[in-house]
Amino acid sequence: MRKINQIILVDDEPVMNIINSKVVEVSGVCDNVKAFECPREALNYLSDINITEGILLLLDINMPYLNGFEFVNAARNLIRQANIYICILTSSIDPKDEARATQDEQIHDFQSKPLSVDQLKSIIGKCNE
C-alpha cells in the first residue's frame, strides 16, 4: 500500500520513452518520471535511490547488452530491499516471455505496448493493492 513516488522507464527506443513519459504526464498519477535508454544506467541509478520510496519500473525485454530478465536478475537484491514494483512493458507477443515473467515473483505485471492512460492507471491500482 505504498504510493508510487516515482516511475522509471527503461527502453532502448527513445521514441517509446518519449511517448510513455507523455502518457504518464497526461495520466497525472506521478510527477516524477525518469527514462533510461541504457539498462546499465538504470541499474546504477537504482542502487543510489532511497529505499523507502515507492518506485514503478516499466521494463522493456528486448534491449541490447542487458535484456529485461537479466536486468531483474541483476537488481534482485535491490528490489527485495526497496519498494520497487516491476512491470514488464514489451512489444513482444511471445507467450514464453509472459510465462517467464509470471513465474518470477519479483515481476508484478506484464503489459503489451503501446501503453495507454487506462493501462497505466490499472497498473498503479494493482501496485496499491
CA distance 82 to 2: 11
- Supply 79's cell numbers: 528490489
Which of these ranges, 38-46, 67-75, 78-86, 89-97, lies near another protein under the rule CB under 8 A? 89-97
The residue within the footprint of another protein, chosen from 48, 93, 103, 105 (CB under 8 A), is 93
- 91 near another protein, rule: CB under 8 A: yes
Q: Is 89 helix (H, G, I), strand (E, B) or coil?
A: strand
Helices assigned H by DSSP within the chain: 14-27, 39-48, 68-74, 76-81, 95-103, 117-128
Q: Indicate whether 64 belongs to the interface with another protein (CB under 8 A).
A: no
Cα distances (Å, whole numbers) of residue 101 to 13, 44, 50, 71:
21, 23, 26, 12
Instruction: Tell me the closest approach of the beta carbon of residue 50 to another protein, in angstroms.
Output: 30
67 binds another protein (CB under 8 A): no
| List 6, 92, 100, 111, residue binding another protein (CB under 8 A) | 92
- Contact footprint for another protein (CB under 8 A): 13, 15-16, 18-20, 22-23, 25-26, 62, 91-94, 112-117
